[in-house]
Amino acid sequence: MNRIATIIIGTLLTLLATDSGAKTLPLPKDLPPYGADKPIPVPRIDKHTLANGMTVWIVVDAEGVPKVNYVLAVRGGKASDPRTQNGLSDIMAGALEEGTRTRSARQIAQELQALGAGLGAAAGREGTTVTAGGPTSNAAGILALLADVVRNPIFPEAEIELAKTNAQQGLLAAKADPGYQAGVAFDRAVYGDHVYGTGEPTAETIASITPQMARELHARRFRPERALLVVSGRADAGQTLKLVKKYFGDWPRGSGPVEADVPAAAREVTPARVFIAREGSVQSAIRVGRPAFNAADPIQAKADVAETILGGGFGSRLFDNLREQKGYTYGAYAGFGALRNGGSLVAAADVRNEVTGPAIGEINREFQRMVDEPVSADELARSQRYIAGVYLFRNQMRGSVAGSLANLWLEGRAPEELGEYVNKVRAVSVADVQDVARKYFRPQDQSIVVVGDPSVAEQLKPYGSFGSSAK
């Protein structure tokens, strides 16, 4: 679910949860009661480890729709690409289904259509996932196809060249977006030379990629001992395990070099000031933030509540200040991004040129308010219900549960956290929120990145000495 959809759903849930929302938004009389106070059903996870080291989690939904979902995750993603080959993970993942030793790309597409199934792959920063799903009646055929794509891709030269061309065009489009430029510069400012801050592809790194590089990366990364398969849906657990053993049980352990794990990112703060001059820009893309915690840190639930109050949606402080009160922007947001071995906090807003400096001042002011003043009990309750409602909505479908479990594994977290998270959010106190703010929201600790017209540079002087470059 993308961020905008999450915000919209969460806002509606917040309106349902409050008296003021009920007065401003007439609701159907037969609408079911608001349900975010209900605990998320904790799925039973049948856990297995195959002889080759592959981890298998099976989640059965006997009463759900007759569909089965597969998510295969392996450790290693874009942060693990050699710096001279940034973009390789994306191209490798995109080409997985473009031909195997026994099936052409056309045959794979035709077989998926015949099975009524879907299949896709994607590379994240620290993990690569391949997903497939379709009718339970075709579970064996879908799993067989998934196994072939995962184990036996050949990365045809023509497909790699097409993927490179598409990647080059995508990069050109992205670089024209000031928000993309700000994001790249922000990661570099926060993470420095760590792989989290230097992983963006360039035209040169994309051009250098070859089919052989994709094959070598696949051999280093796709190994059963570094893989998890999550199966969810309406299926028999025993029969599912037999199918998994049939198609993955003889997958040999990897040999040769193994991909190195991403090192831990520093949490120390070294505030940077970066201005990227973009001639003719009618808006300034502002990013304010700092290094933060990794995904397994116990502070996660407390931080989620704090970020929601500060900048998590339409009812947040940043949104209310910069959009509703000041009219500087269409939207302003803030949030933590936690990865397996590091993380960051970022506040973001794209504002009119003439209010670039004042907008930074208001962002800093809202950061400082969170540090100095306890949030209200109402803000706390609304934030908790927002988070719980969105989480429950997102994980009510077994396909989403499979993805959530795979993400927990990639982040180094226990699968049981799926059922524990909402209760952790409900347990957050006003004092907890202020503790998070004092640790991470102090304005003097934040880096500031601005992408905008050269004319806005004068407005930045009150906030430090900004290095400048043209784009």
- Concatenating the DSSP letter of every residue in 32-97 gives PPP-TTSPPP----EEEE-TTS-EEEEEE-TTS-SEEEEEEEEE--GGGS-GGGTTHHHHHHHTTT
pTM above 0.85, yes or no: yes
Contacts of 150 (CB under 8 A, 6+ apart): 72, 96, 130, 222
Q: Report pLDDT for 469.
A: 56
Q: Report pLDDT for 39.
A: 57
Contacts of 305 (CB under 8 A, 6+ apart): 380, 383, 384, 387, 425, 428, 432, 433, 436
User: CB neighbours (10 Å) of residue 129?
Assistant: 22
Equal fold, 3-26+264-470 vs 46-248: yes
User: CB neighbours (10 Å) of residue 329?
Assistant: 21
Q: Report pLDDT for 4.
A: 42
Per residue of the chain (471 residues), give pLDDT as tens: 444 444 444 444 444 444 434 344 565 666 555 554 565 566 789 999 999 999 999 998 877 789 999 999 999 999 999 999 999 999 999 999 999 999 999 999 999 999 999 999 999 999 999 999 999 999 999 999 999 999 999 999 999 999 999 999 999 999 999 999 999 999 999 999 999 999 999 999 999 999 999 999 999 999 999 999 999 999 899 999 999 999 999 999 988 888 888 999 988 889 999 999 999 999 999 999 999 999 999 999 999 999 999 999 888 999 999 999 999 999 999 999 999 999 999 999 999 999 999 999 999 999 999 999 999 999 999 999 999 988 888 777 667 889 999 999 999 999 999 889 999 999 999 999 999 999 999 999 999 999 999 999 999 999 999 976 555
∠ CA(257), CA(262), CA(265), 5° rounding? 155
Ranges of each domain in the chain = 3-26+264-470, 46-248
Q: Domain 46-248, what architecture? A: 2-Layer Sandwich (3.30)
Q: Report pLDDT for 11.
A: 47
Q: Report pLDDT for 65.
A: 87
332 in Cβ contact with 312 (< 8 Å): no
Q: Report pLDDT for 41.
A: 61
Q: Report pLDDT for 254.
A: 85
Rama region for 176: left / alpha / beta (φ>0; ψ in -120 to 50; rest)? alpha
- The CATH superfamily holding the domain 3-26+264-470 is Metalloenzyme, LuxS/M16 peptidase-like (3.30.830.10)
